Structure 1
Amino acid sequence: MTRKNVLFLCTGNSCRSQMAEGWARHFHGDAVEAYSAGIEAHGMNPNAMQVMKEAGVDISGQSSKLASSLSDVELDVVVTVCGHADENCPTFLTKAKVVHVGFDDPPKLAKEAADEEAALDCYRRVRDEIRDFVRDELPGLVE
């Protein structure tokens, strides 16, 4: 069986798309070659790395990168995980099947948090929503 190339795309490739890449490797590494990238590259979000590690998935070896750095990869599916990326998806990516599944932005949610633990809870909620999508819905997208 040939593994499918799946890209998770968001604005800054620091949080949501990184979590999705980590979950895809964790749950579907035998069937999917997972990538993440952004319209911009903002670096890895330390809170995203922390809450993923809490869930048993280490994403610290991943890196924040621009979508253009993957222009030579033949993608089968592109999953945009934020509205900005969906609206600004680079045209070279649209040769693949493009699916939009929007998730809240944890850093934006965390700005309203009362303390650090409440801020991390914002990341945990979105982490778990992404986990459920990748675990349960991704297989149907790559068939």
Structure 2
Amino acid sequence: MTGTAMHQPTTPRSVLFMCGMNAIRSPMAEALAKAALPAGTYVASAGVRHGERDPFVDVVLDEIGLSVGRHQPRTLDELEDDYFDLIVTLAPEAHHLALDLTRSMAVDVVYWPTPDPTVATGTREQIVDAYRAVRDHLATLINRRLVVAPAGEKA
């Protein structure tokens, strides 16, 4: 990457978000990115292994007017497309797999360490707060690192 490219970021045309089971972090990131990135940007998510849909994801996305729709967790093998400009990994196991799979490909792989909210304990509200924290963390990263402001504006 040239020095100019680092200072003049471009919005990727296709982004894959990866986590452990495609149940919480990556589908949440997918929904947030679809809302934030320009129309026509292909955004998908996948997990290293199969998982179950998590209802708390629906709760915290609904609070900000978003939804994962009919999303069902899927693995990399179940993706329709296998080429992306950027792969964003949200868990260590996903990062290691992405690096292994893209060794001979021209694709950027970045790791955004993101906590697993399922480890939260306490009341329902305390657990939902952990999911909100993940949602807000991902929204901040997407807006700071993937959303490119029009020329002359600050991102």
Q: TM-score range by the shorter chain?
A: 0.7 to 0.9
Aligned length: 136
Query: How far apart are the structure 2 equivalents of 1:9 and 1:33?
Result: 14
SS at match of 1:35: strand
Deviation of 1:92 after TM superposition, in Å, equals 3.4
Q: Which has the larger radius of gyration?
A: 2
Q: CA deviation at 1:62?
A: 2.0
What residue in structure 2 maps to residue 128 of structure 1?
136
Task: Kindly report the root-mean-square deviation, in angstroms, between the aligned alpha carbons of the 2 structures.
Answer: 2.0
Cα shift readout 1:60-119 (whole Å, capped 9, x = no counterpart) = 3222111122274321110001112112337334522111111000111x2x2x200111
Structure 1 gap ranges (5+):
none
Structure number with higher helix proportion:
1
2:147 aligned to which of 128, 139, 143: 139
SS at match of 1:6: strand
Task: Give the TM-score, by structure 2 length.
Answer: 0.79
Q: Specify the alignment match of 1:19 in structure 2.
A: 28
Identity %: 28
CA 1:40–1:136 in 2, change beyond 3 Å: closer, same or farther? Answer: same
Q: 1:45-74, CA deviations, whole angstroms, 9 ceiling, x for partnerless residues?
A: 110111011111111322211112227432
Compared CA separation, residues 74 and 88, structure 1 to 2 (3 A): closer
Which stretch of structure 1 is more off in the superposition, 116-125 or 69-78?
69-78
The TM-score with structure 1 as length reference comes to 0.85
Mapping 1:41-60, distance limit 5 Å: 41-60=50-69
The separation in 2 between residues aligned to 1:60 and 1:31, in whole angstroms, is 18
* Counterparts of residues 61-100 of structure 1 (less than 5 Å): 61-70=70-79, 72-89=81-98, 91-94=100-103, 95=105, 96-100=107-111
- Confirm or deny: 8 A CA contact 2:12 2:146 kept in the other structure: no
Q: Which runs of 5+ in 2 are unaligned?
A: 1-10, 149-155
Question: Do the aligned partners of residues 22 and 119 (structure 1) sit closer, same or farther apart at CA in structure 2, a change above 3 Å counting?
Answer: same
